Amino acid sequence: MKHHFYVTTPIYYVNDEPHIGHAYTTILADVLARYSRMEGVRTFFLTGTDEHGQKVERAARAAGITPQEQADRTVVRFKALWKKLEITNDDFIRTTEERHKQVVRLVLQELYDRGEIYRAEYDGWYCTPCERFFTEKDLVEDLCPECHRPVERITETNYFFRMGRYRDWLVEYIREHPQFIQPDFRRNETLGFLQQELNDLCISRPKRRLGWGIELPFDSDFVTYVWFDALVNYISAIGYGVDEKRFRDWWPAVHLIGKDILTTHTVYWPTMLRALGLPMPRTIFAHGWWLVGRSKMSKSLGNVVNPMDMAEKYGVDAFRYFLMAEMALGQDAEFTEESFVRRYNTDLANDFGNLLRRVVSMIGRYRDGALPGPRNADEAAKLLNDPDVESLRAKLMLAVEGMERGLQEMRLDRGVAGVLSAVRATNRFVEHSRPWDLARSQKHAELDRVLYVAAESLRVTSGLLSPVMPEKMAALRRALGMKAVDPKMQELRSWGVLRAGMEVVDIGPLFPRVVTDDEKADGTASGRSGRSDRGRGKRKNSTSGGTKMENAREDESREEVVTYDDFSRIELRTAKVVEAERIEGTDKLLRLEVLMGEERRQLVAGIAQHYEPDDLIGKTIVVVANLKPAKIRGVESRGMLLAATRGENLRLLTVDGEIASGAQVR
């Protein structure tokens, strides 16, 4: 077992606002730190901001402020975002803090005194956005090999770190320590880079060209190269050279980075540590990029996703869940709002949220809100002595093992998928057991077993996802009558923890379903037989754009979906179609004119892919008559027709035989 866990993010530039890439790395580090704490491991989680260099200086100049003011203004955006996203970092380091600058100067002087740093004239190509020098052979079509932007020729005197002397050692170390750089293909990228000659690293900039940086302790005419400065944060934050006991207590670390800074972290950083005589990091893990289509998110392309906006719109925990579930660590992943909503509705609203609603609802209805089940271990063993229960318990324990393995292998997406598989297995268990029938038949022992087992499953699965969705899972545990404290992994490996009599509370929909614009444009309220669409509830139309939350309802049995009072508020009437035509500019929508008694109404319905307009003339359909009018693609719709779907098949609800239009449907 690990004695401690020290995890870091890169420190983020303060020349602009945080984006989804920053959010992803930081949430990932937070999730790993939370799991580590659940295992009882001493944990230290570091993040921060990189506040020196040309990009910050130029951003400040453009804003008409000093570089320090630029840093002070921007850093609050990162801190506010981390607070919003429930990040539990133990420290936040700024490279303009004196504690950091002190260690940078100490490291520079130490390496200079050892002969690891020397002064020489440099002639080469410089990329300002990357703040890096490149040789002629490094350039790609005369452009920067990293960002593919123009470079400029510079000849000047600078100070250099003897990085090249460590090339052979670094190659050997990487080959002998396969966990050092992950995933494997990123390790191979670094080894490929090291096949060529490794040049010494320019670690200074003359003040006449760049004044915003940490002054070299041995030459006041120069400031430190921003990447040399920034990398030191991982040891300055834990007291290197200042508090040796604290430093030794935490080092080495697990570094989480984006693949675009692989070379700096897997070549520059290890050679710096080697020159200082320090142990190497445990692991440097490089994740992929978030893409829109096939393009990396970029401010210049205008496709950057603002994490604060997503968290405000859909909820913090849903945003955290999507990022952790969607990206296979190390690979690129595509972000679209459509894919976000699809995963949210499928995993959280339909599967997880509905399981909680149906379990809490049934315990409230059948057992007055008191959890039935065992009062001690012997009763638990007897109650759970059932093949179906044992099969479900085995799936839950597999989910626990899968999450632990996913954490070890840095495949968190697989761990999350395993938990959702267990949630779906629990839904199937409830459907197969049919507790509503057991209640009607007064089979109390069997009913208690089903309700207790479903609640136990929620206890385990909510605990496994607590680091991913801390607020929502704490709410779920409170609903089950548990204290909303962070669970321990050992507790999740056990079965039969809940005890009879715990007060179960209905907290409402944990994950209200998102109704998309396309669904609202369809204009249909569909009765679906497929399990994946459970919890659609009543469709709500809106005259505003975007998406709207609606309550997801449990579906433990058809008669328990809504109360009579709920249903009585819906006015269903027959209507005869007298006109029908396609709406220009869409392949889904039809405009219908219907006769409802003496009243003539216009409806918009998303059935154009299933019916030709002429086929509808004369049909008597069923319409929700008291729905608030809405404009769909600029066309007013005063009501909603009903249809049933299964797979790609859709059929309108009609009446059996002749009946006047406007008749009430009871």
What pLDDT digit, counting tens, does each position of 515-525 carry?
Answer: 866 655 554 44
Instruction: Write 613-616 long-range contacts (CB < 8 A, 24+).
Output: 613/580, 613/581, 613/582, 614/580, 616/577, 616/580, 616/590, 616/592
Q: Are residues 373 and 457 in the same domain?
A: yes
pLDDT higher than threshold 90 for residue 590: no
Structure-token pair, residue 299: 């401010």
Confidence of residue 526 (pLDDT cuts 50, 70, 90): very low
Q: Are 231 and 272 in contact (CB under 8 A)?
A: yes
| Domain membership flag for residue 357 | yes
User: What does the pLDDT read at residue 663?
Assistant: 78
Closest CA to 264 of 289, 232, 217: 232
> What total of structural domains would you count in the chain?
2
Determine whether 118 is exposed, middle or buried from the number of CB atoms within 10 Å of its CB (0-12, 13-18, 19+).
exposed
Judgement on whether residues 488 and 579 belong to the same structural domain of the protein: no
Q: Please say if the pLDDT value at position 286 is more than 60.
A: yes
DSSP character at residue 503: B
Q: Supply the DSSP string of 190-249, one letter for each residue.
A: HHHHTTS--PPEE-EEETTT--SSPEETTEEEEEE-HHHHHHTHHHHTTTTTT-HHHHHH
Distance from C-alpha of 452 to C-alpha of 36, rounded to nearest angstrom: 29
**For residues 504 and 363, is the Cβ–Cβ distance under 8 A?**
yes
Looking at residue 428, which CATH number applies to its domain?
1.10.730.10
Whether the pLDDT of residue 560 is over 60: the answer is: no
Neighbours of 431 (CB within 10 A): 15
pLDDT at residue 327, rounded to an integer: 92
pLDDT at res. 648 = 62
How would you write 424-460 as a 3-class SS string? HHHHHHHHHHCHHHHHHCCCHHHHHHHHHHHHHHHHH
pLDDT for 522: 55
Mean pLDDT, the chain, integer: 86
Same domain, 522 and 609: yes
**Alpha-helical regions (H) of 66-131:** 67-84, 98-113
Which DSSP state fits 486? P
Distances (CA, A) of 11 to 64, 78, 214, 224, 288: 24, 11, 16, 16, 17
Strand partners, 143: 140, 150
Pairwise CA distance, residues 82 & 102, whole Å: 26
Place of tokens 């219907």: 594
Q: Over 70: is that where the pLDDT of 395 sits? A: yes
> For residue 641, which of 598, 591, 568, 581 has the smallest C-alpha distance?
591
Q: For residue range 95-152, what is the model confidence (pLDDT) as tens digits?
A: 999 999 999 999 999 999 999 999 999 887 888 777 777 878 788 888 988 788 898 8
pLDDT band at 567 (very low <50, low <70, confident <90, very high): low
Pairwise CA distance, residues 474 & 494, whole Å: 19
Residue positions counted in the chain: 666
- From 427, 459, 492, give the residue that closes a domain: 492
> Using the 8-state DSSP alphabet, how is residue 560 labeled?
G
Residues 342 and 474 in one domain: yes
The answer to whether residue 93 is domain-embedded is no
Question: In this model, does residue 549 exceed pLDDT 50?
Answer: no
Average confidence (pLDDT) over 493-503: 90
> What pLDDT, on a 0 to 100 scale, did the predictor assign at position 71?
94
Given a cut of 50, is residue 556 above it in pLDDT?
A: no
CA–CA distance, 601 with 629 (Å, rounded to integer):
11
Of 195-204, 471-480, 554-563, 586-595, the least confident: 554-563
Mark which of 440, 461, 492 sits at the end of a domain.
Answer: 492
Number of other residues whose CB lies within 10 A of the CB of residue 631:
13
- Residue 38 domain-assigned (yes or no): no
Are residues 642 and 538 part of one domain? yes
pLDDT of res. 272: 98
Q: Quick one: 341 and 479 in the same domain? A: yes
In this structure, what CATH number is given to the domain that contains residue 642?
Answer: 2.40.50.140
**77 Rama class: left (phi>0) / alpha (psi -120 to 50) / beta:** alpha
Does residue 90 form part of some domain? no
pLDDT on residue 299: 56
Decide: helix, strand or coil at residue 296: strand
Query: What pLDDT, in 10s, does the model give residues 165-190?
Result: 999 999 999 999 999 999 999 999 99
Quick check: 533 pLDDT over 70? no
Domain annotation covers residue 623: yes
Question: Does residue 525 share a domain with residue 459?
Answer: no
Cα–Cα distance between 32 and 649 in angstroms, integer?
44
Mean pLDDT of 550-561: 41
Please give the order of strands across the beta sheet that includes 290-292.
295-296, 290-292, 333-334
Q: What six digits make up the tokens of 461?
A: 């699965």
Find the mean pLDDT for residues 635-660. Answer: 80
Question: Is position 552 within any domain?
Answer: yes
- Establish how many alpha carbons lie within 13 A of residue 247's alpha carbon, considering only the half-sphere containing its beta carbon: 15
Structure tokens at 248: 């030794």
Statement to judge: residues 486 and 517 lie in one domain = no
Task: Give pLDDT, residue 33.
Answer: 98
Same domain for 474 and 579, yes or no, is no
Together in a domain, 537 and 612:
yes
Structural tokens at position 360? 């809490």
What range defines the domain where residue 441 resides? 336-492
Q: Is 631 a member of any domain?
A: yes
Q: Which of 460, 454, 633, 464 is nearest to 556 (CA)?
A: 454
**Band of pLDDT at residue 541, cut at 50, 70 and 90:** very low
Helix 67-84 to helix 307-314 angle (10° resolution) is 30
The arithmetic mean of pLDDT across residues 578-605, rounded, is 82
Residue 653 has pLDDT above 70, yes or no: yes
pLDDT for residue 471 is more than 50:
yes
Side-chain half-sphere exposure of 50, counting CA atoms within 13 A: 23
The predicted model scores a pTM of: 0.78
Bond into 183 cis (ω within 30): yes
Distance CA 252, CA 594 (A): 73
Band of residue 534 on the pLDDT scale cut at 50, 70, 90:
very low
The better pLDDT of the pair 277, 643 is held by: 277
Inter-residue contact 232 to 104 (CB < 8 Å) = yes
Beta partners for residue 150, in sequence order: 143
CB 349 within 8 A of CB 511: yes
On the question of pLDDT at 578 being above 80, the answer is: no
pLDDT band at 573 (very low <50, low <70, confident <90, very high): confident
Q: What is the mean pLDDT of residues 77-91?
A: 96
Using DSSP's 3-state secondary structure scheme, residue 595 falls into: strand
- Residue 643 contacts residue 606 (beta carbons within 8 Å): no
Tell me if 192 is assigned to some domain.
no
- For 123, the 3-state DSSP assignment is strand
461 and 361, same domain (yes or no): yes
Question: pLDDT tens, 62-74?
Answer: 999 999 999 999 9
**Residues 488 and 341 reside in one and the same domain:** yes
